[in-house]
Structure 1
Amino acid sequence: MADSTIGGVPHQMPYPHFGVELGPAPAPDWVEHSTGFGDNRHRGHFGEQFVRMLAVAANIDAAQRDRDRVGVDWQLGHPGRPGTHRFPVIEAQVKCTSSPLIREDHIAYDLEVQHYNLLAGQGYDVPRFLFLVLAPTDTITWSHATPDRLLLRNAAYWVCLHDKEAADETQKTRRVHIPRANLLTVDSLHGLFSETYRNLAGVS
């Protein structure tokens, strides 16, 4: 069933099937010779490109950091609209998981404290967000191409942590609750450029 709110793409796989293999699929011959296929680095790269595809569909420019030292993977921006803030920019840290803790109204994710503290609190020049991409455990099912469309599984969610206090750095991780209502779509991605998040981040 298509959902007009996400551009006619069929509904995402409902709970509790996130992270569950979609069925046995024989691996193609090239997988055997593809170094690093399915490892954590590969999974992380898929998550980043998942977000980039959404940004392209939303006509939003996405620039990747040369070095990962400020806690974000993508800087996103667009020219702005008449009567609004010109050339708005946001930043996003992207994580990808195949083993999310799905609850009734949120997704629980354990984020390293170092990364958490680069997103939490105020005093930022640019609003920052955590984007969590949920991908199947079977990497062969991450995408499916037909003459009509390219399908990427499964979905991405967002959360803003500017209203949270920094975590104790003696801890290893900090659990983040990402509302399941915060599905990342073309429309919701544009919504993250609103003045609400600039004010929450303390942007002057």
Structure 2
Amino acid sequence: MRPLTSQNIESELSYAYIHAVAASAGMGCEVAGRHDDAAGVDAKITAWGPFKGGLLQEVDLKVQLKATVKPPTLAGSCFSYSLAGIPRYDDLRSTEVATPRILVVLFLPSRPEEWVSHSTDALMLRNCAYWVSLRGADPSSNATAQTVYIPQMQKFDPAGLTELMSSLSRFELPSYKGSEP
């Protein structure tokens, strides 16, 4: 058996990150099956109410995960990120899906030895993930990748995830705003 590649490790750390955030927020998180993966979905998060001002008592969210060691590039108040795979981009921008979808990007340190550290007091996964909804984004004119803009204020953390799920419980679907400089 071969060891995991660096890219495989980055991917596994992105799963660990969203599982930890969802659990901390009191939500369920499961890895998507192979059919969902073919549709650009890596995980599904489920939250249960009551939600602040919510109408629904159970909300689902589908997630496409990405991890990168490339330092985020700031473009105004957003990070620019090159999303490889136009079919994945099209899946995420669709307005014809019942369950909302978001892209979550984990920005890891450039040096692998800095990704995870532990002591008797803590297990630390370094850096932060951010989310963006591409719902309603314009079609891409590119053949292989599309630059997307992820708001710097949309941290994928327990508070941000809780607020997102609360808004979904009120039928407030996030959509892509872009922010090209």
Taking structure 2 as the reference length, what is the TM-score of the superposition?
0.83
Q: What percentage of residue pairs aligned between the two structures are identical?
A: 23
Matched residue, 2:73:
102
Asked whether the 8 Å contact 1:127–1:198 carries over to 2, the reply is no
Asked whether the 8 Å contact 2:14–2:65 carries over to 1, the reply is yes
Matched residue, 1:55:
22
Deviation at 1:198, TM superposition (A): 4.1
Alignment: residue pair count: 168
Are 1:43 and 2:38 matched, yes or no? no
Which structure 2 segments of 5+ residues have no match? 176-181
Structure showing greater Rg = 1
Distance 1:73 1:154 in 2: 20
Q: Decide whether aligned partners of structure 1 residues 74 and 98 sit closer, same or farther in structure 2, where only a CA change above 3 A counts.
A: same
Are 1:152 and 2:108 matched, yes or no? no
Asked whether the 8 Å contact 1:123–1:201 carries over to 2, the reply is no
Counterpart amino acid of residue 30 in structure 2: A
- Identify which of 71, 83, 90 aligns with 2:40: 71
Secondary structure at the counterpart of residue 117 of structure 1: helix
Taking structure 1 as the reference length, what is the TM-score of the superposition?
0.74
Deviation at 1:146, TM superposition (A): 2.0
- For residues 71-90 of structure 1, the aligned pairs below 5 Å read 71-81=40-50, 84-90=55-61
Deviation at 1:129, TM superposition (A): 0.4
Asked whether the 8 Å contact 2:67–2:105 carries over to 1, the reply is yes
Deviations 1:13-63 (A, max 9, x none): xxxxxxxxxxxxxxxxxxxx97125x2122111112111111111111001
Matched residue, 2:99:
126
Matched residue, 2:179:
none
Deviations 1:67-113 (A, max 9, x none): 12111111100222166302111111010000034215221111121
Q: Decide whether aligned partners of structure 1 residues 140 and 70 sit closer, same or farther in structure 2, where only a CA change above 3 A counts.
A: same
Secondary structure at the counterpart of residue 113 of structure 2: helix
Asked whether the 8 Å contact 2:72–2:107 carries over to 1, the reply is no
Structure 1: 4+ residue segments shifted above 3 A: 195-202
Asked whether the 8 Å contact 2:32–2:44 carries over to 1, the reply is yes
Matched residue, 1:25:
none
Deviation at 1:147, TM superposition (A): 2.2
Distance 1:201 1:154 in 2: 24
Distance 1:43 1:80 in 2: 32
Deviations 1:108-151 (A, max 9, x none): 11112111111003121111100000011221211121222221
Deviation at 1:199, TM superposition (A): 4.3
Which structure 1 segments of 5+ residues have no match? 1-32
Matched residue, 2:64:
93
Deviation at 1:196, TM superposition (A): 8.1
Instruction: Pick which of 52-61 and 78-87 moved more.
Output: 78-87
Distance 1:191 1:121 in 2: 22
Asked whether the 8 Å contact 1:122–1:200 carries over to 2, the reply is no
- Larger fraction in strand: 2
Asked whether the 8 Å contact 2:106–2:128 carries over to 1, the reply is yes
